[in-house]
Amino acid sequence: MKKSTLIIALALGLMGGSVTNVYAAETPVCSTEAKAYDNPYEWLSTYRLKSADLQEYSLSDLRLMRNAIYAMHGYIFKNAEMRAHFSDFEWYYPQYNNVDSKLSAIENANVKTIQNRENELKKTGKSAASASVNQANPFLFLSKSKLTASEVEAEGKGQLAIWRNAIYAKHGYIFKNASLKKYFSKFSWYTPKSDNVESQLTAIERANVKLILDAEKKKK
């Protein structure tokens, strides 16, 4: 989804509404945070990955996440698939053949953590068959381990809304909000099938939703 279209959708669809349930999806988001909705990998620059976070990801998922970190710094991909995938996003500006010096401490740590998990999958022979990059779900970590207060406080309000709604999207929640529906529909892993998935949320997911929602309420 292109950024211009998304900003219009946000302005029309996310400024109204109210919260009736502490675990409710689709809480309104300030339109000034629209940029977060256009980059599903932005959290890889602010959230420090733990080994436990990556257990549900396939080899193709991990490869995409690792390369997303480089894409955010304008790396010029030689791999045609990666180049084509990231070129669909307006935030991707290919400018450099080497961006290693541009990576932050968190990004370097995340690259190493992802690579370690990739190597584990290759060694154990559990690496999944290569899949389309569009099938990768970059938000599976939200279902694997509990977030901490400091981790959610480091994110912007828009990114927090993505995280919270991604938990519902994973279970096939049918979004009523047009912008959220459009955002998650671009991922092939999202299969809308129910307008109520509360009973499907795990204890970890419920805890993360509550923590995220509490943090959103404190953001201006």
Do the Cβ atoms of 127 and 59 come closer than 8 Å? yes
Q: Does residue 11 surpass a pLDDT of 70?
A: no
88-136 pLDDT per residue, tens:
888 899 999 999 999 999 999 999 999 999 999 888 876 554 444 445 7
Which residue stretches of 19-58 are H helix? Answer: 34-38
From 175, 151, 141, 159, select the one nearest 38 (Cα to Cα): 159
In angstroms, the CA 191 to CA 181 distance is: 11
- Of 98 and 15, the structure prediction assigns the larger pLDDT to 98
- Of 119 and 17, the structure prediction assigns the larger pLDDT to 119
In angstroms, the CA 88 to CA 187 distance is: 13
User: Residue 5 has what pLDDT?
Assistant: 35
In angstroms, the CA 16 to CA 14 distance is: 6
User: Residue 38 has what pLDDT?
Assistant: 67
Kindly state the DSSP code that residue 75 receives in the 8-state scheme.
B
Kindly state the DSSP code that residue 53 receives in the 8-state scheme.
G
User: Residue 129 has what pLDDT?
Assistant: 44
How high is the mean pLDDT of the chain? 80
Q: Residue 150 is which amino acid?
A: S
Tally Cβ neighbours within 10 Å of residue 2: 10
User: Residue 191 has what pLDDT?
Assistant: 92
Of all residues in the chain, the percent with pLDDT exceeding 90 is 41
Do the Cβ atoms of 45 and 159 come closer than 8 Å? no
Q: Give the mean pLDDT of 49-55.
A: 88
In angstroms, the CA 93 to CA 135 distance is: 23
Least confident of 30-34, 69-73, 135-139, 157-161: 30-34
The residues near 131 (Cβ < 8 Å, ≥ 6 apart) are 58, 60
In angstroms, the CA 38 to CA 156 distance is: 13
Tell me the whole-structure pTM to 2 decimals: 0.71
